[in-house]
Amino acid sequence: MRIVFYNIRYGTGSNWDYHFPFPFSGFFRFSTTRIRRIAEFLDSLKADIVCLLEVDGGSYRHRKHCQARHLASLKGWEHTFSNKYDSRSLLNHLPILSSHGNAILSGQPIISSKEHYFSRGIKNTYLEVEFTEFHVILAHLSLGKRARKAQLQEIAGRCKTLSKPVLLGGDFNLLHGPSELNPLTITTGLRDADTIARPTFPSRMPKLRLDYLLTSKEVEIESMEIPRVHLSDHLPLVCDFNIEKRRGGDS
């Protein structure tokens, strides 16, 4: 099975033209052309599950259509979308920002999906989707170290309650390095899927490792690739995996 994690920056682009004619002006541009190119790229990967961060849920940038719903409809897939900010946040009531979210698209049947709320951080939601043999958790963590630490603790607590194997991924914003993950990996037993720790940001000349995939021990990693594609400021994670059969024949 193949799963993809990709921060698509709302389909607004990357590189220097994103900041022309003024800094961050690309944030306000229409995204339909870039989303079409992202759709073509995702289609070429032949993935079974696609986890997207920084998805536009329906602002003017994508003609008031949810990018996740649009991308899923092109393949006849299911999808689930979660706003990045909870309903109490002022950001969730502002133009453009209110449409910011994350999404999971799937060609596999989705049993259930849940939106969880962090106790700290501006970006204070994460998405959990249950499949037949495993759970996928998608998170975009805080830029603040203290808030990020609390968020990782809360994700660890959630992972410990799940009976099926877990694939936990997303943009973790680990500005102080992967050692920030130690408390979570020790508590949960999750393992880093990219054993050679490749950087993912910025996409043209990646120097920082911001994007991660952690998996339960029952998840057998067949391959882990990071394609050098420049449709966003992040590079995508592409992972082929199997779920090891438990003793007794259960999966």
pLDDT at 44: 98
Residue 151 contacts by C-beta under 8 Å, 6 or more apart in sequence? Answer: 118, 120, 121, 126, 139, 141, 142
Mean pLDDT over the full length of the chain: 94
pLDDT at 74: 97
Q: What is the largest CA-CA distance in the chain?
A: 62
pLDDT, tens digit (0-9, with 9 covering 90-100), for 130-147: 999 999 999 999 999 999
Alpha helix segments (H runs only) across 162-233: 182-188
For the domain spanning 2-243, the CATH number is 3.60.10.10
Res. 93 pLDDT band, cuts 50 70 90? confident
CA dist., res. 41 & res. 170, Å (int): 19
pLDDT, tens digit (0-9, with 9 covering 90-100), for 28-87: 999 999 999 999 999 999 999 999 999 999 999 999 999 999 999 999 999 999 999 887
CA dist., res. 147 & res. 158, Å (int): 17
pLDDT, tens digit (0-9, with 9 covering 90-100), for 99-127: 999 999 999 999 999 999 999 999 999 99
Flag whether the pTM goes above 0.85: yes
pLDDT at 249: 45
Is the pLDDT confidence value at 89 over 50? yes
Residue 102 contacts by C-beta under 8 Å, 6 or more apart in sequence? Answer: 51, 52, 53, 54, 55, 81, 82, 84, 125, 126, 127, 138, 139, 140, 170
Domain range summary for the chain, segments of one domain joined by +: 2-243
Both tokens of 19, joined, read: 């900041």
Res. 246 pLDDT band, cuts 50 70 90? low
Sign of the CA dihedral running 73, 78, 84, 89: positive
Residue with tokens 């052309």: 33
